[in-house]
Each structure stands twice: as C-alpha cells, then as structure tokens.
Amino acid sequence: MPSPHGPRRARIAFSDSAAKQLESLTSEAEIHALDRALVVVSVDPEVGEPIPGSAAGPQLREYADEVEHVRLLYWVTALRTVVVVAYLEV
C-alpha cells in the first residue's frame, strides 16, 4: 500500500563551500528560488544530469532551473537518503 504522504524525500546537506555560498544569499527571491530547486532535488535526486568524471569518487550531478535561475552541483549518498550540495548559483 502506498504511503499517504507520498514518496520519501532525501535530506539536503551542504559542503562547507556551499554553506558559505548559502550564507551570502540576502534577497528573499534568491532564497525562495533556491528552496524550490532543493525540493525538486530532494524529491528526485536523479533529476540532475551526471557530470562526466572519475568513477573513484561520488558521481557529481548538475541540476539547473532556467526559470528560477538556480544551478546546483551535488552528489547523492549510496542509499539515496542524503543529497550533498557541493556548489550553488542563484
């Protein structure tokens, strides 16, 4: 039986550099746009495009929302329960 609350969302965590970028956001419009993008990624961590690179580390992905002008670089933990944002642009 499906959950009445919908699919489980992944938690969002920020790397140190992304946390510093987050602290620099000042306008409510930027914060709102970022929040919307984070919800999209937390509901479907596979939504972003894989970034080609080494298979040695976590697979980086890029999610870009052209309407909200937000770009996220992130990776997803092995169990798909946490999305770690490495870089953000708003």
Copy the structure tokens of residue 29: 């419009």
CATH class of residue range 11-50+62-89: alpha beta
- Which regions of the chain are under pLDDT 70? 1-7, 54
Can you give the pLDDT at residue 53? 79
Structure confidence by residue, pLDDT tens digits, 31-55: 999 999 999 999 999 999 999 876 7
Q: Taking the domains of the chain in order of start, what are their residue ranges?
A: 11-50+62-89
Q: Half-sphere exposure of residue 23, counting CA atoms within 13 Å on the CB side?
A: 7
Point out which residues pair with 12 in neighbouring strands.
83
